Amino acid sequence: MIVYERGDRGTNLDAIQKRIEGYIKSKGASTDASAEAPSGTSHRLVVERLSIRGAKVTMTNPGLKGQGVSFDLPDIELRDVGKRQNGITPSQLANIVTGAILARIAQRVLTNIELLRRGGVEGAIDALKGLIH
């Protein structure tokens, strides 16, 4: 279960991703998946296959007037993450996974009829703010 909350200052998932990016930068690495991990990093990962299936999202935002909308998250499948870079750091991997989750949430919000019914077009637009960069 993923809880996606939108407030006046952004979303909870955006906050998590910003903290991950801040940590990566503090260690001297790039947040870009195509960049190489720093040579002094002891743990470098290559993920052949990472699947997230059957996840559910509960989304809340001011446009929904206190009501949450739950929906299934489309499956996520990542392959050969870090392979071209000779490995990436765990924090870089976390950044990639968080980005993939945000992209799937945006995809689902765009097509969620229940969200449109409950929050109207304004609710859907508000839910998308911060998802599409």
Q: What pTM value is reported for the model?
A: 0.71
At 29 the pLDDT is 65
Q: Are 97 and 49 in contact (CB under 8 A)?
A: no
At 50 the pLDDT is 96
Which of these, 127, 11, 131, 23, lies nearest to 65 by C-alpha position? 127
pLDDT tens per residue, range 84-101: 999 999 999 999 999 999
At 5 the pLDDT is 83
Domain edges within the chain: 2-128
d(CA 97, CA 84): 17
- Which residues of the chain fall below pLDDT 70? 29-42, 63-66, 112-133
